[in-house]
Amino acid sequence: MANNDGAPLNKSRADIKMSELSPEELTKALNEYGLGELAERMGIKLIEVSANKTIGTMPVQGNRQPLGLLNGGANAILAETLGSIAANVAAYPDRVAVGVDINVTHHKGVKDGFVKGIATPLHVGKTTGSYFIEIINDKDERSASARLTVFFKEKNK
């Protein structure tokens, strides 16, 4: 795996001790570690990471469908990425969050610029969590909204 500039990583996700980092340090560490192959291919970058709110951006360019609009699947990838990160911060250190359901509603087409996703928890329980992800365009207009449900699994099981 490589980081955002293509250089190989010399560390593992286990090296990131979420409870010891400020939200700013955690955001930087996750951006440096990498968000996974698909999120990196989509150009997703984190702005803020915490259990209560996770924010990231994604370029429209490179993620369009044939009609020139942001692909709806790209919205789903942004939503699941941000919701999963927020859920895993909430689950740390004893559990991990695994997505089990996602629903995305597209409200307004986006042709260029960037979209920003904001993931906030609706419910964080012992075994499940639900997250609302609002996706807005460069004019701060809602272009999509999503709901992600995760299962909190005990680590090493």
Q: CATH code for 17-154?
A: 3.10.129.10
Q: Find the Cα–Cα–Cα–Cα dihedral 63, 43, 86, 147, rounded to 10°.
A: 0
Active site residues: 80
- Report the pLDDT value the prediction gives residue 156, as an integer from 0 to 100: 79
- Report the pLDDT value the prediction gives residue 32, as an integer from 0 to 100: 87
pTM, 2 dp: 0.87
Q: Where are the domains of the chain?
A: 17-154
- Report the pLDDT value the prediction gives residue 17, as an integer from 0 to 100: 63
pLDDT under 70 in the chain at which residues?
1-19, 157
- Report the pLDDT value the prediction gives residue 22, as an integer from 0 to 100: 84
- Report the pLDDT value the prediction gives residue 64, as an integer from 0 to 100: 98
